[in-house]
Structure 1
Amino acid sequence: MRRRIYWLMPDLASARQAMHDLVQARVDVARIHFAGPEGMDMTGLHAANVWQTSDVVHAAKTGWVIGSACGMVAGLVAGLLFPVMGDDPEWEVAVLLGVLGGVVGAWSASMIGISIPSIRLRRFEGAMAEGRILLMVDLPRSRVQDIEALLQTAHPEAHFEGEEQQVPAFR
């Protein structure tokens, strides 16, 4: 697991310099994400993608749970009331429909979640609307203090906005 640190940069020049400083400090470019106002030219920065800016992961998890539950209920009803072979309940139908319901639920919920802004970034919307740029860096626990110190020293114009305790590896 990694930790995500958040910094608000005042402008593009500061954000580009921070990107350069982080790369020089051997932070993997894939772990550096910038989010800014809609339509801002993010040339020279590793822009955040839908994994960082939308609610797609949370929505997919929720869809999986709800879809699986609905599929299991439908499968239990079908397996108990409408057995295909013989008179015994067919429990396999419940399992099959549970998995199928989970897949369909995750897929459909993620299609909705991709268009919903991340709840984690909601507190930064005002600052980004004013033209500031959000820097998100995903780091191993052992590097958090060093990188925070680097950014604080090299970028006094930037503001530390907090840390998220656990970021899954695939984000």
Structure 2
Amino acid sequence: MKGLKRLYFLLPDVDTVRKIVDELLLVHIPYEHIHVLARAGTALEELPEAGIAQRTDLVPAVERGLAIGGTVGVLAGLLAVVFPPAGVVAAGGAVLFGALGGAGFGAWVSAMIGVSLPNSHLERFEDAMEQGMLLMMVDVPKAQIEDFEDMIRQHHPEADIEGTEPTIPAFP
């Protein structure tokens, strides 16, 4: 969805998280836009647990892989057009296929690496989570960020609002 920003909240316990999830669902935030992360061993029960796209550097890695692989593929295609292999006529298709092949290969390799790394955006929350706090990430429309922050502040003063992340990528 276009125009979403991710809000971060640190919360003291599972009951508070459950109440906030219910409130968000009542104001029509889709369940898929709510992500909860806690230290290992915390029973999240039916809460929307953060998936691989939220816990790892998968999405930024794929984006970098697409860009770098596509660029290298375009350069390889251009080289094939300028210096064609003996007996082969290379045309614009070489550039196109080079770009697509490079982008695909770059995204695949980067995804394999990114999925094994923790999400670099979440490093600032590691200490709080190790102390038992739960991290809630909610993707909300940009125009309503202040409304959601105010709602959480009013109903849950124990929530520690940690700010927002820039626009959420289209495919997490």
> Given the two structures, how large is their TM-score scaled by the length of structure 2?
0.87
- In structure 2, the partner of 1:126 is 127
Q: After the TM superposition, which residues 32-111 of structure 1 pair with which residues of structure 2 at under 5 Å, given as runs?
A: 32-79=34-81, 80-85=83-88, 90-111=91-112
Amino acid at match of 2:10: L
Distance of 1:67 and 1:27 partners within structure 2: 36
Cα deviation code 1:114-158 (max 9, x no counterpart): 111112111111111111111111111232222211211111111
Q: Which residue does the alignment assign to 1:150?
A: 151
CA distance in 1, matches of 2:131, 2:72: 44
Question: What is the deviation of 1:112?
Answer: 0.8
1:129 and 1:158 map into 2 onto residues whose CA distance is 17
One-letter code of the match for 2:20?
Answer: A
Match of 2:7 in 1: 5
CA distance in 2, matches of 1:94, 1:160: 48
Residue 85 of structure 1 deviates from its aligned partner by 3.5
Matched residue pairs, number? Answer: 169
**What residue in structure 1 maps to residue 136 of structure 2?**
135
Say if 1:2 and 1:169, in contact at 8 Å, map to a contact too.
no
Aligned to 2:116: 115
Distance 2:137 2:80 in 1: 48
The RMSD of aligned alpha carbons is 1.9
1:156 counterpart SS class: coil
Q: CA deviation at 1:81?
A: 4.0
Deviation, structure 1 residue 83: 4.3
| Conserved? CA contact 1:83–1:90, under 8 Å | no
Alpha-carbon distance change, 24 to 94 in structure 1, aligned in 2, over 3 angstroms: closer
Q: Which amino acid aligns with 1:157?
A: E
In structure 1, distance between residues paired with 2:150 and 2:61: 35
* Amino acid in the other structure paired with 2:35: H
Kindly state the Cα deviation for residue 91 of structure 1 after the two structures are TM-superposed: 4.2
